[in-house]
């Protein structure tokens, strides 16, 4: 083992400057000689292009096998590459995966050309090229090199649907109170070359100057605890646009549901309005959203411990927030299918599991593991029929990937594999024929499919009045 390896093994990943100091001290070398040794070294890995003074983060391959590398990268970016840290922190804050439209808000990179600033797309390309992030056309998520456990995109999608619902309600609140001009509110809009979750033109006294309207700007962070560092992206964006010549007056809001005392003080110190969900929209609204987030955060455990909780919440939300319920219809249907399987003996349930097979991502809507069987269910809550193209891809691409993944799970290799397809809207005649043919002729796994009437029959076997009511009142009322 070389001295460089020994140092990194002992201290973990280090910036090249720190590693040079360690080598120089240990071997009584000059700093420059130690630096040259690092440059020539072939036994270490490097992340470069993000740190001041041309430094790189040096690490061993073994560091990428745990969360050591991600923690070290975040710490060193905060200290020596702050402008890039914003991005890493935003992804980390949201469980390792985030959609582009929200990430544009949470960083301080301009989305339109701005002198002396690197644009968002260029920064993100650097992250992808360095194998720090992966982009699938919609979402950014940590490379497997940094995060071995694949992030829960099921949770991400639903949380972001909740955020959009809150932004819609915020739009109504600010419009109806006259804080913004009636027709001016926009979600995910550009202002001052940066992206904001919400923007509205405001003519209220104190914001207008020389007959020039001011602006209300807002971002939103919910579903996670927020500390003092987590709000720096918002503070920094405001400082930059306020530094522009002839900049408009701004009324800034950061919408949150949970933040530390230090973060609250920092926001107020910078003249930012803290829009706490409970205070903006009421206790009942806030409690319902918190319950929904809690259920989503650990779906399998929720179905086992409090299986009817999501049904009670669905009924409550429909009374005053039907728009949100409709937006998360797919997630709620996955819960219902998971609930059906959770009632069966000795089953463990997972919802929204993401897997990677041959470098391709696949989502398992419902995964039920029984003593002698592994079941994977596809769940579609759309009202339209599932067409043959969708079934062809499920049979030809997703099923082989799922089978390959199951076969690599040591404790499942001897279990039977079963697939199910649940569709509220049913299937086209061709799609139905394809499913029937596969069901009748497959020998390596079993397959079943459920249209509207089949789903109702399955729900009736559970003997759960709340589930039947939810099915009739929300999922199948227009289908059967």
Per-residue model confidence (pLDDT) at position 42: 87
Q: What is the pLDDT of residues 205-257, one digit of tens each?
A: 889 888 889 999 999 999 888 999 999 999 999 999 999 988 899 999 999 99
Residue at which a domain ends, from 64, 94, 118: 64
349 and 270 both lie in a single domain: no
227 and 355 both lie in a single domain: no
Q: Residue 38: give its domain's CATH number.
A: 1.10.10.10
173 and 247 both lie in a single domain: yes
d(C-alpha 231, C-alpha 421), whole Å:
43
Q: Would 375 be classed as within a structural domain?
A: yes
356 and 277 both lie in a single domain: no
Q: Would 102 be classed as within a structural domain?
A: no
181 and 274 both lie in a single domain: yes
Q: Would 320 be classed as within a structural domain?
A: yes
Residue at which a domain ends, from 35, 64, 93: 64
Low-confidence ranges of the chain (pLDDT < 70): 1, 478-480
Q: How far is CA 22 from CA 5, 15, 16, 29, 43, in A?
A: 12, 11, 10, 10, 17
d(C-alpha 254, C-alpha 378), whole Å:
37
229 and 349 both lie in a single domain: no
Q: Would 145 be classed as within a structural domain?
A: no
459 and 322 both lie in a single domain: yes
Q: Residue 439: give its domain's CATH number.
A: 3.40.1350.10
Residue keyed to tokens 């490379």: 143
Q: Would 470 be classed as within a structural domain?
A: yes
Q: Would 369 be classed as within a structural domain?
A: yes
205 and 328 both lie in a single domain: no
Enumerate residues 6+ apart whose C-beta is below 8 A from 340.
458, 459, 462, 467
Phi, psi torsion values for 255, nearest 5 degrees: -90, 125
Domain count, the chain: 3
Query: What's the DSSP call for residue 78?
Result: H
468 and 325 both lie in a single domain: yes
Q: Would 253 be classed as within a structural domain?
A: yes
Q: What is the pLDDT of residues 321-370, one digit of tens each?
A: 888 888 899 999 999 999 999 988 788 999 988 888 887 889 999 999 99
389 and 467 both lie in a single domain: yes
299-335 per-residue burial string, b: 16 or more CB within 10 A, e: under 16: bbebbeeebebbbebbebbeeebeebbebbbbbbbbb
Residue at which a domain ends, from 260, 283, 306: 283
Q: Which domain holds residue 202?
A: 153-283
β-pairing verdict for 97-99 and 214-221: unpaired
Per-residue model confidence (pLDDT) at position 479: 46
Q: Would 71 be classed as within a structural domain?
A: no
First to last CA, the chain: 70
Per-residue model confidence (pLDDT) at position 255: 97
192 and 265 both lie in a single domain: yes
323 and 467 both lie in a single domain: yes
Q: Which region holds residue 315: left if phi is over 0, alpha if psi is between -120 and 50, else beta?
A: alpha
């Amino acid at each position: 083992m070389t001295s460089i390896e020994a140092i990194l093994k002992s201290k973990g990943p280090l910036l090249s400057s720190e590693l040079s100091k360690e080598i120089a001290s240990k071997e009584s070398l000059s700093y420059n000689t130690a630096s040259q040794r690092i440059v020539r070294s072939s036994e270490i890995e490097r992340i470069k292009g993000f740190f001041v003074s041309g430094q790189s983060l040096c690490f061993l391959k073994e560091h990428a096998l745990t969360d050591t590398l991600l923690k070290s990268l975040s710490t060193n970016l905060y200290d020596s590459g702050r402008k890039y840290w914003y991005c890493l922190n935003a992804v980390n804050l949201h469980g390792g995966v985030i959609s582009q439209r929200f990430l544009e808000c949470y960083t301080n990179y301009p989305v339109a050309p701005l002198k002396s600033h690197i644009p968002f797309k260029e920064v993100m390309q650097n992250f992808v090229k360095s194998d720090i992030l992966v982009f699938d056309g919609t979402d950014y998520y940590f490379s497997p090199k940094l995060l071995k456990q694949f992030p829960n995109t099921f949770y991400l999608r639903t949380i972001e649907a909740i955020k959009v619902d809150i932004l819609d309600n915020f739009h109504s609140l600010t419009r109806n109170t006259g804080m913004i001009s009636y027709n001016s509110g926009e979600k995910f809009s550009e202002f001052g070359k940066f992206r904001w979750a919400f923007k509205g033109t405001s003519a209220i006294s104190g914001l207008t100057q020389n007959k020039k309207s001011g602006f209300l700007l807002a971002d939103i962070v919910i579903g996670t605890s927020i500390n003092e560092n987590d709000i720096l992206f918002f503070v920094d964006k405001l400082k930059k646009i306020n530094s522009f010549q002839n900049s408009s007056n701004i009324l800034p809001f950061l919408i949150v549901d949970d933040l530390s005392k230090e973060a609250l003080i920092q926001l107020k110190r910078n003249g930012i309005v803290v829009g706490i969900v409970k205070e903006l929209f009421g206790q009942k609204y806030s409690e319902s959203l918190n319950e929904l987030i809690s259920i989503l955060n650990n779906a399998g455990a929720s179905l086992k411990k409090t299986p009817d909780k999501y049904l009670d919440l669905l009924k409550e939300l429909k009374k005053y927030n039907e728009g949100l319920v409709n937006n998360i219809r797919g997630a709620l249907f996955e819960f219902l299918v998971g609930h059906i399987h959770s009632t069966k003996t000795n089953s463990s349930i997972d919802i929204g599991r993401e897997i990677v097979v041959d470098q391709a991502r696949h989502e398992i809507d419902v995964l039920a593991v029984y003593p002698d069987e592994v079941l994977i269910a596809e769940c579609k809550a759309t009202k339209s029929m599932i067409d043959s193209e969708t079934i062809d891809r499920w049979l030809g691409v997703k099923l082989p990937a799922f089978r390959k993944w199951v076969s690599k799970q040591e404790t499942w290799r001897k279990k039977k594999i079963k697939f199910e397809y649940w569709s509220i809207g049913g299937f086209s005649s061709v799609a139905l024929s394809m499913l029937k043919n596969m069901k009748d002729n497959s020998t390596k796994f079993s397959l079943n499919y459920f249209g509207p009437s089949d789903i109702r029959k399955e729900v009736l076997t559970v003997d759960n009045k709340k589930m039947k009511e939810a099915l009739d009142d929300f999922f199948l009322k227009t289908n059967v």
